[in-house]
Structure 1
Amino acid sequence: MPNLTITEMNNLKEELKKKGYKLTPQRRAIVDTIIENEGKHLTVEEIYDEVKKDCPEIGLATVYRTILLLEELQIVYKLDLNDGCSRYEMVHKDEIHRHHHLICTKCGSVIEVEGDLLENLEVKIEKQYNFKIKDHSVKFFGICQNCGE
């Protein structure tokens, strides 16, 4: 399993401490699992299955509670890829906004789009509607190159 850098681990400990929580071995295993599976957009049940390999004593309820806590602390965020499941991925401090996703309607694969393609549009919307945008989530649906069409 990957290890968080000392800085990342200290930041995580600090965030948890601010809210009155500790970085328990179970919480660390959950975070490590999400990092190890970066880009796979795992559900809570899939995270549980992975964590259980190294922490067989962990319960599904612990994983659910930890994911909710990590989401509240903005360490992970929930994705809705229109498949009826909530999926999770790490929040990257260097990202101003969440990245965009391309979702194949044939095979269900998900491709992450690098970079924020909507900066100019955001500026226009903010000016036109006098609205300060904090974040956005964009999903494009279509057919991937493997499925062709």
Structure 2
Amino acid sequence: MESQNYKNHRKFYVPHHFIYLPLLLILEGIGIYKIWNDEQNQLLWILFSVIIFLILYLAIMVRQHYALGLQNRLVRLEFKQRYFEIFGLRSDDVEEKLSFGQISALRFAYDDEFKILLEKALKENISGDEIKKSIKKWRADLHRI
């Protein structure tokens, strides 16, 4: 398996991203095409297109909402645990000063870089993306949603 880094850390769920969503997009395209080319059943095709659009919208939003909400909670919990293990202190004050993007990015750094990048994030308020780009030795997270 290729080691994880900034360029390849995103993850896709094949049935959702490459089968279900494209199928819905194709059906939506057919519905829109038929609206303009089947005048006898135009109202039916409008209804079809609206329903497919709503299914597509819900499929994207609900999946993202639940999965990312849970993942975000776990990332915050992981940060708290890691901060405690490294510094022996509660992270509440530090966590309030960081954005979620910064907290999320810090998880890809090993402990030595974590300390340096955390300090840099607190002092210079660098973005999560800048934190990720600054990581020299990437700590892979292969269990993300």
When normalised by structure 2's length, the TM-score is: 0.26
Q: Which has the higher contact order (CA 8 A, sep 6+)?
A: 2
Largest Rg, 1 or 2: 2
When normalised by structure 1's length, the TM-score is: 0.25
Whose helix fraction is larger, Structure 1's or Structure 2's? 2
Whose strand fraction is larger, Structure 1's or Structure 2's? 1
